[in-house]
Chains A and B, each alone.
Chain A
Amino acid sequence: AQKVTQAQTEISVVEKEDVTLDCVYETRDTTYYLFWYKQPPSGELVFLIRRNSFDEQNEISGRYSWNFQKSTSSFNFTITASQVVDSAVYFCALTLSGGGADGLTFGKGTHLIIQP
């Protein structure tokens, strides 16, 4: 069975600092998809990025960037020049291609606190 580990339960930084959220995954499949979602206090999960296992290119979107490394089974997320509005719980998730349960397997989440 697949597994996603987010070892950082909570991170607190001061505004404008850069912060990296770690995500390590386990799966025996060669084809899979990785995701990051943000959950603000309102509760709704907000989609940030989706990446398939064959695309190891890093991605940058504004202040957000993602580093995917199959060699270490990691899909880390960096926020540059953090802002108070970035405060939320961030979830990394994995899903497999093929048959079986197609639902997302989530990590436990990292609670990010950005202090003004």
Chain B
Amino acid sequence: EDQVTQSPEALRLQEGESSSLNCSYTVSGLRGLFWYRQDPGKGPEFLFTLYSAGEEKEKERLKATLTKKESFLHITAPKPEDSATYLCAVRGNTGFQKLVFGTGTRLLVSP
């Protein structure tokens, strides 16, 4: 069974204090690892899809990396508007259309 574990559950940063969020996964035949941002009361906003170990993608202050067992979402010099819950999901070979989500990391960036 595909599984995703995210850590930490919650993270408080000062503005400008860089950090990383972790997503550990087990999956039968990775067909994609996904990062989303979710604000309270809103649907998840697509950030990245990574397909193979060694792949990296960047968007503004966010950079996602992927190994065979985990993915990191690096946040460089965060701003208060980066505060949100960040969700990680995997898509594997079994039940191949489904994304399996982790429980998310709630990020709070203080000014």
Do A and B actually bind? no
Binding site for A on B (CB under 8 A): none
Binding site for B on A (CB under 8 A): none
